[in-house]
A and B are shown apart, each in its own frame.
Chain A
């Protein structure tokens, strides 16, 4: 076990993540991701952390996409002559 750890420190080109790095990741992600925040850090497995991270990033990507959809539709409909619509239109275009 210890030899694996020391090996992963030396091999900078390795794509494997060491246990220390996972512990670091857990503590920082706990502040960012709600799913992990509610659990105790020593009970969260590495693969669970990575899974939740991937899920979170995917959901953020989806949100950006949905928001882009919403905004593009809002511009379509802001062809009225109200002052607010003109402001928004000039703001976005």
Chain B
């Protein structure tokens, strides 16, 4: 069981660092610019706490990079820094280069096939099976990278993803509440 507090601290540090980096790279003038900066940095930060050990975090990074090529700098710096920077640096930088290549491949692949066709199982005709199948499809669309996962991996990734989302929401909520206290 991972230490929740340490995870929150790691997320907060990386989020703030990411915001600094993003603001150096992009001009933030309007509220929607700021919102984009905040949300993007938060997503990169929470994904990086997994250090590419999960599929959803890799898929999320891919998505960030594919949205805007400049984001690769942000991703590399957030992945490259951290507590074990000296030990894992080369591994993480290699990982981020892989992300860049993979995101390019993903963009090409997406153009070809939006959704992978799941072969219909003729024997599983019961309603219960159909329901599970449909819900599974929805779940795959919610978890980053879910379309490419089989049932077992999808469940593991879902659990990890939910835990990480809760960390992200908790820290963001606390910061928002603290900020509002100064400006009621």
Interface residues of A (CB under 8 A from B): 4, 8, 12-18, 21-22, 24-25, 28-29, 32, 45-47, 50-51, 53-54, 56-58, 60-61, 63-65, 67-78, 80, 82, 84-85, 88, 91-93
Contacts and interface: CB of A to CB of B under 8 A. Distances in A.
A49 to B, nearest CB: 8
Contacts of A12: 150, 152
B158 interface: yes
Interface of B: 16, 19-20, 23, 31-32, 34-35, 37-39, 42, 118, 121, 123-124, 128-129, 131-136, 138-140, 142-143, 150-152, 154-155, 158-159, 161-163, 165-166, 168-169, 172-173, 175-176, 178-180, 182-183
Task: Give the interface SS of chain B, mostly helix, strand, loop or mixed.
Answer: helix
Contact of B34 (A8, A50, A76, A91): A76
Nearest to B174: A67
Contact of B16 (A22, A29, A92): A92
A84 B183 CA distance: 9
Nearest to B178: A88
B151 A15 contact: yes
Contacts of B172: 63-64, 67-68, 71
Contact of B150 (A14, A74, A75): A14
A72 B38 CA distance: 7
A44 to B, nearest CB: 13
A77 B163 CA distance: 32
